[in-house]
A and B are shown apart, each in its own frame.
Chain A
Amino acid sequence: MSDNRLSEEHETLRKTVEEFAREVVAPAAAGHDEAKTFPYEIIAQMAEMGLFGLPFPESYGGQGADYFALCLAIEELARADSSVAITLEAGVGLGAMPIYRFGTEAQREEWLPVLASGRALGAFGLTEPGAGSDAGGTRTTAQLVGDEWVINGSKAFITNSGTDITRVVTVTAVTGEPVNGRPQISSIIVPVPTPGFSAGAPYSKVGWHASDTRPLSFQDVRVPAENLLGERGRGYANFLSILDEGRIAISALSVGLAQACVDESVKYAKEREAFGAPIARNQAIAFKLAEMETRTYVARTAYYDAAWRMLAGLPFKKEAAMAKLFSSEAAVTNAREATQIHGGYGFMNEYPVARHWRDSKILEIGEGTSEVQKMLIARHLGV
């Protein structure tokens, strides 16, 4: 078996982001969470560091690293603040990636340099009020009128869609009659702003307070015909393949949160005294910590392996789904246990674990619910 430790470049990057997360992201996290503000100054510093360009070649303004490097950065950021981590994940993995994977040369040249620089954010509009897990049930339409697409409909829960630096949203829409009994869904690049397009007020969320999530509405939004992204009728399939990769990144984010819960809890359990001794002396607490650490380790190993398979060109969809399923549940469990270990203080927003607890639940829902992951995994088993 070959060695699965990080290469020197990956490890140096990981350490750099760890340092940045500890010194810059963590101290600001509680403030942005409380005020529900988008951390523009932190995003700008991440842009300076090239984090938004990690997986793209230098010829498109990227850093020439790979998807695994992006995952490492996401994990380290999530140890400090999930909102910041999801902004990077959605901006790169969902916003810019479809253009890199499926765009024409002209589309890549138009969008990638600005997105990779982090000066602008992209968003991915698949989910609709009535179509989430079953995104094939998309109702938004795009009609080709002359040399323009005319888009009508709405999207729900779209990350990064309404920040001051959002410049593009790629959306899925029905572009014609069903083909072979399947809905004809295509994806289209919508520059922001475009008349008729609007991002509604941000949702009031349980967690991810410093991440931007909004409903979108399209009323006779006109964009040039050449804004079609990928082949006509392939939009849904293409977006699903973006989600296959995205699951590895969400797994990395989950691992970061799970690790943060371990770190905070170990520290707290050694300091907090009850019945005359640190609570960590109780085996009930020590065993919780041991289980939390184990979950995190197994989850990390799973996403490393899925990423390695993907980069090696091997089949990875099942592994990505398993990594996402396992690590998002590990994150939720660790966050619940961390709060428990912190007692009443764990329910106070002043302690990071309270925020981790609120931020964790969405991990079992976004980019495919746990049930959807199980459907995918079962399908690979032929059932």
Chain B
Amino acid sequence: MNIVVTVKQVPDTWAEKKLDASDKTVDRKSVDNVMNEMDEYGVEEALKIKEAHGGEVTVVTMGPEKAVETIRKALSMGADKAVHLTDESLHGSDALATSAALAKVISTLSPDLIITSSEASDARGGVMGALLAERLGLPQLTQARKVTVDPGANKVSVERLADNGYALVEATLPAVVGVVEKINQPRYPSFKGIMAAKKKPLTKLSAADAGLDAGSVGLAGATSTVVDAQPAPPRQSGTIVKDEGDGGAKVAAFLAAQKLI
């Protein structure tokens, strides 16, 4: 199995997320950056499939120079090699432009399986898996909480999260699978893994190396523009109900007014 797993570097979930004032893109310079937490599940799933069926796991990321830290993390967990697409001209790519760039890189790797996670914690588009499948002309199995691969039959099936249970869906390989949190328990890298990661092949591509046309990526190629953004209003302090014998009734009335009961 030749598996590609996409990983994105995002501002630490603990950090306050900000937009750069000048171009309204996510400020990635002034905060700690980490691997998108959900992508850890994607990497773990790729490694598990590789451990069960053999093959190779390639990490693909698009992002600034610093995103190499996230690549190293995936490699130290056990991925075999990585492709890092990085170029000033890619800055400000929207979801469509990002998917075009990633699809171009992924298609050169001829994978049997492409794993993404369901959502990146910074932009939270939740669309990348679908966009990649569309661009690559492959079936997409998103919101997967369990993945079973049958290389002999050239098939992959997943339990797709639904509102009140799950749907069992399958597709022929190659396919794009989007995983959700809790599909597995991502491993923590060992020291040996950390050392080995430094020696694993890492290909750095510029937009030109990847054969991308400068006008189609980055802010220039974005079909959507973030015009304005406001910080979320601070949370209102809660309503305090004093219990003077009628506390229960008051709470019930409050909940009813909110249409919660």
Contact = CB atoms under 8 A, between A and B. Distances in A.
A63 B190 contact: yes
B195 A9 contact: yes
A48 B191 contact: no
Contacts of A12: 72, 76, 189, 194
A230 interface: no
B35 to A, nearest CB: 11
Nearest to A8: B198
B191 A63 contact: yes
Contacts of B250: none
B192 interface: yes
A69 interface: yes
Contact of B192 (A19, A20, A58): A58
A241 interface: no
Interface string A55-68: 00010000111000
Contact of B189 (A16, A45, A65): A16
A9 B188 contact: no
Contacts of A64: 191-192, 195
Contacts of B76: 12
B187 interface: yes
Contacts of B198: 9
Interface in B152-210: 187-195, 198
Among B187, B194, B195: residue with most chain A CB under 10 A: B194
Nearest to B192: A63
A13 interface: yes
Contacts of A17: 188
Contacts of A45: 188
A161 to B, nearest CB: 27
Contact of B194 (A16, A19, A48, A58): A16
A70 B72 CA distance: 21
A50 B190 contact: yes
SS class, residues of chain B in contact with chain A? helix
A303 to B, nearest CB: 19
A20 B194 CA distance: 15
Interface residues of B, number: 12
Contacts of B190: 48-50, 63
Q: How large is the interface on A (under 10, 10 to 19, 20 to 34, 35 or more residues)?
A: 10 to 19
A281 to B, nearest CB: 21
A181 to B, nearest CB: 46
A209 B161 CA distance: 41
B69 to A, nearest CB: 9
A54 interface: yes
Contacts of A63: 190-192
Interface string A115-158: 00000000000000000000000000000000000000000000
Contacts of B191: 9, 13, 50, 54, 63-65, 69
A64 B190 CA distance: 11
Interface in B194-241: 194-195, 198
A9 B192 contact: no
Contacts of A9: 191, 194-195, 198
Nearest to B197: A12
Contacts of A58: 192
B195 A19 contact: no
Contacts of A69: 191
Interface string A164-180: 00000000000000000
A20 B193 CA distance: 15
A16 B188 contact: yes
Which 4 pairs across A and B sit closest by C-beta, in order of nearness?
A: A50-B190, A63-B191, A65-B191, A12-B194
Interface of B: 72, 76, 187-195, 198
Given A20-B188, A48-B188, A64-B192, 5 more contacts: A16-B194, A49-B189, A49-B190, A50-B190, A50-B192
Interface of A: 9, 12-13, 16-17, 19-20, 45, 48-50, 54, 58, 63-65, 69
6 contacts: A12-B76, A19-B188, A49-B188, A49-B190, A63-B192, A65-B191
